[in-house]
């Protein structure tokens, strides 16, 4: 199945990506102009920005590099900006703080545009074959928890829903990228995506009564968690608050610290500002009141792993955990987190692979026997993309979605969403 995907590849619209490249070059120039208006002419990627941020603007250093300089990596800038915005919210605003936020915005946006142009737009144009098809390499064994892709990496294309320009079809990077992947003439792209599969697997493995009820009743787990915490109706939960609780839901399974949650929220687009104490309060509430059985499951998995030296997915795939016996606290703690991560992430990957195998062994041969040229072209995270004749697209989508949905049986419903379109964005 994966080999066929690699050989088929995905078709790109060359003109679309060339126009996208022109837009990105223009936007890069605009960001440099904004920066010049704020602090003078500087390259946003230059080391001179360290002096601008931490000497001229007197911003606090969050982290130092190995060489002893103030760090300006993406995560550090996201945390710094969140702290500056928190000071503004507390009424501790100043010209330096306002300028600092604006300068960090310029640096982050410039980097996003530059990476999009060099890594993805120009990268894809350079990788396309004579038929304008891009052929990635799908790695089956490189990661224990997920399939991955490289040369080019099609797994890291930004999610359109997480863009800071989510409602702008021109500047939404993920949307623009996906619109450039097209079906050949007379065909459609069909994407079948396991919905919230890691949380579904988590509910099944932990047997948490509250989580199982949420999925059995077909509720949105993130919006529901927010409504329970805020004691407000689900339809009254704002989108940014839902995003907070989406992060919390996944963090609860993966033993994420309050500091890490704070950083993840600060790096979101748009960023969400919360203190570490507020994040810890959410974690405490989650395990005490929302999903208490999750914590008990995590303790049980770690105890078993300590005794056996291994953890397993639902289907018995094993991962050795020698770090559990390490005398280095940092190594042992990281391994303990992996003990609870792997059963969920690994089982989710197993379910996808079982679904892909079922498609290859049963559904696709049946379609080919009926004369329908349905071809697998890519798998990204928990989804598979198929290219099929337009007149049969709905039938193919229905059969592919049903095959994936029934590939395994869990104690909570497994849902698969199916989209059909002329390009990947329409099918996503």
Burial of 360 (0-12, 13-18, 19+ CB in 10 A): middle
Confidence of residue 217 (pLDDT cuts 50, 70, 90): very high
Residues 303, 350, single domain; the answer is: yes
Q: What mean pLDDT comes out for the span 22-51?
A: 92
Q: What mean pLDDT comes out for the span 358-380?
A: 97
Mean pLDDT is lowest, of 163-177, 209-223, 315-329, for 163-177
Residues 298, 321, single domain; the answer is: yes
Domain end marker among 131, 150, 182: 182
Give whole-number Cα distances, 51 to 25, 61, 356, in Å.
26, 11, 52
Q: What is the pLDDT of residue 164?
A: 63
Question: Percentage of the chain with pLDDT > 70?
Answer: 96
Residues 21, 140, single domain; the answer is: yes
Residues 363, 374, single domain; the answer is: yes
Token pair for 288: 């005490």
The residue among 254 and 320 whose pLDDT is bigger is 320
Q: What is the pLDDT of residue 427?
A: 95
Give whole-number Cα distances, 233 to 98, 112, 210, 245, 287, in Å.
36, 36, 17, 15, 21
Q: Is the residue at 232 inside a domain?
A: no
- Give residue-wise pLDDT tens across range 261-296: 777 676 665 666 677 788 888 888 888 888 889 989
Question: Is a pLDDT exceeding 60 seen at residue 232?
Answer: yes
Q: Is the residue at 9 inside a domain?
A: yes
Q: What range defines the domain where residue 335 resides? A: 183-206+293-428
Confidence of residue 336 (pLDDT cuts 50, 70, 90): confident
Residues 170, 312, single domain; the answer is: no
Domain count, the chain: 2
Q: Is the residue at 286 inside a domain?
A: no
Nearest 5 degrees, angle CA 411-CA 146-CA 389? 85
Q: What is the pLDDT of residue 286?
A: 86
Q: Is the residue at 382 inside a domain?
A: yes
Token pair for 342: 């792997």
The residue among 145 and 419 whose pLDDT is bigger is 419
pTM of this prediction exceeds 0.95? no
Q: Is the residue at 249 inside a domain?
A: no
Question: Is a pLDDT exceeding 60 seen at residue 364?
Answer: yes
Spatial distance between the Cα atoms of 135 and 349, rounded to a whole number of angstroms? 22
Q: Which residues contact 80 (CB under 8 A, 6 or more apart)?
A: 59, 60, 62, 100, 104
Residue with tokens 């960001």: 31
Residues 167, 300, single domain; the answer is: no
Residues 74, 191, single domain; the answer is: no
Residues 158, 199, single domain; the answer is: no
Confidence of residue 342 (pLDDT cuts 50, 70, 90): very high
Q: Is the residue at 283 inside a domain?
A: no
Q: What mean pLDDT comes out for the span 190-212?
A: 94
Give whole-number Cα distances, 192 to 44, 108, 205, 389, 419, in Å.
40, 33, 24, 16, 7
For 228, half-sphere exposure in the C-beta direction (CA atoms, 13 angstrom radius) is: 19
Question: Is a pLDDT exceeding 80 seen at residue 159?
Answer: no
Mean pLDDT is lowest, of 178-192, 246-260, 382-396, for 246-260
The residue among 266 and 77 whose pLDDT is bigger is 77
CB atoms within 10 A of CB 391: 11
Q: What is the pLDDT of residue 266?
A: 65
Question: Is a pLDDT exceeding 80 seen at residue 143?
Answer: no
Q: Is the residue at 280 inside a domain?
A: no
Token pair for 208: 């948490």
Q: Is the residue at 270 inside a domain?
A: no
**CB burial readout 10-24, b (16+ within 10 A) else e:** bbbeeebbeebbeeb
Q: What is the pLDDT of residue 267?
A: 60
- Give residue-wise pLDDT tens across range 4-19: 999 999 999 999 999 9
Residues 399, 373, single domain; the answer is: yes
Domain containing residue 21: CATH number: 1.20.1060.10
Q: What mean pLDDT comes out for the span 357-372?
A: 98
Q: What is the pLDDT of residue 349?
A: 94
The residue among 91 and 3 whose pLDDT is bigger is 3
Please report which helix (H) or strand (E) contains residue 32, including its range.
Answer: helix 14-39
Domain containing residue 384: CATH number: 3.30.70.370
Question: Is a pLDDT exceeding 60 seen at residue 380?
Answer: yes
DSSP for 343-401 reads: HHHHHHHHHHHHHHHHIIIIIHHHHHHTT---EEEEEETTEEEEEEEGGGHHHHHHHHH
Q: What mean pLDDT comes out for the span 63-76?
A: 85
Residues 192, 341, single domain; the answer is: yes
Confidence of residue 166 (pLDDT cuts 50, 70, 90): low
Residues 298, 418, single domain; the answer is: yes
Domain end marker among 145, 166, 182: 182
Residues 27, 144, single domain; the answer is: yes
Q: How far apart, in Å, do the first and last CA atoms of the chain sit?
A: 21
Burial of 231 (0-12, 13-18, 19+ CB in 10 A): exposed
Q: What is the pLDDT of residue 277?
A: 83
Q: What is the pLDDT of residue 270?
A: 61
Q: What mean pLDDT comes out for the span 94-104?
A: 87
């Amino acid at each position: 199945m994966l080999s066929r995907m690699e050989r088929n590849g995905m078709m790109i619209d060359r003109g679309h990506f060339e126009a996208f490249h022109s837009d990105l070059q223009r936007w890069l120039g605009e960001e440099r102009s904004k920066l010049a208006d704020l602090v003078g002419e500087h390259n946003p990627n230059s080391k001179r920005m360290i002096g601008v941020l931490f000497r001229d603007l007197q911003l606090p250093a969050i982290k130092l590099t190995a060489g002893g300089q103030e760090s300006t990596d993406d995560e550090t800038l996201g945390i710094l900006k969140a702290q500056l915005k928190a000071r503004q919210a507390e009424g501790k605003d100043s010209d330096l703080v306002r300028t600092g936020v604006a300068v960090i915005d310029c640096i982050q946006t410039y980097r996003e545009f530059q990476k999009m142009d060099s890594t993805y737009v120009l990268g894809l144009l350079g990788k396309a074959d004579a038929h304008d098809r891009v052929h990635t390499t799908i790695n089956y064994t490189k990661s224990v928890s997920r399939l991955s892709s490289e040369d080019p990496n099609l797994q890291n294309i930004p999610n359109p829903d997480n863009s800071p320009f989510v409602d702008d079809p021109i500047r939404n990077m993920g949307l623009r990228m996906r619109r450039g992947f097209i079906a050949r003439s007379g065909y459609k792209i069909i994407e079948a995506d396991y919905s919230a599969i890691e949380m579904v697997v988590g509910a099944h493995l932990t047997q948490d009564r509250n989580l199982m009820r949420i999925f059995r009743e077909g509720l949105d787990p993130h919006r529901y968690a927010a409504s329970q915490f805020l004691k407000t109706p689900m339809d009254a939960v704002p989108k940014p608050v839902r995003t907070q609780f989406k992060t919390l839901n996944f963090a609860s399974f993966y033993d994420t610290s309050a500091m890490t949650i704070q950083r993840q929220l600060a790096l979101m687009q748009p960023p969400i500002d919360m203190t570490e104490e507020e994040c810890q309060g959410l974690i405490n509430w989650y395990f005490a009141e929302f999903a208490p059985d999750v914590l008990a499951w995590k303790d049980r998995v770690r105890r078993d792993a300590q005794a056996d030296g291994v953890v397993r997915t639902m289907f018995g795939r094993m991962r050795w955990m020698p770090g559990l016996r390490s005398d280095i606290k940092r190594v042992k703690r990281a391994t303990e987190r992996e003990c609870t991560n792997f059963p969920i992430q690994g089982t989710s990957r197993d379910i996808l692979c079982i679904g892909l195998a079922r498609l290859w062994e049963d559904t696709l041969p049946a379609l080919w026997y009926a004369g329908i040229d349905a071809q697998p072209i890519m798998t990204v995270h928990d989804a598979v993309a198929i290219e099929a004749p337009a007149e049969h697209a709905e039938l193919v989508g229905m059969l592919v979605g049903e095959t994936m949905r029934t590939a395994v049986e869990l104690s909570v419903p497994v849902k698969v969403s199916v989209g059909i379109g002329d390009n990947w964005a329409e099918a996503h």
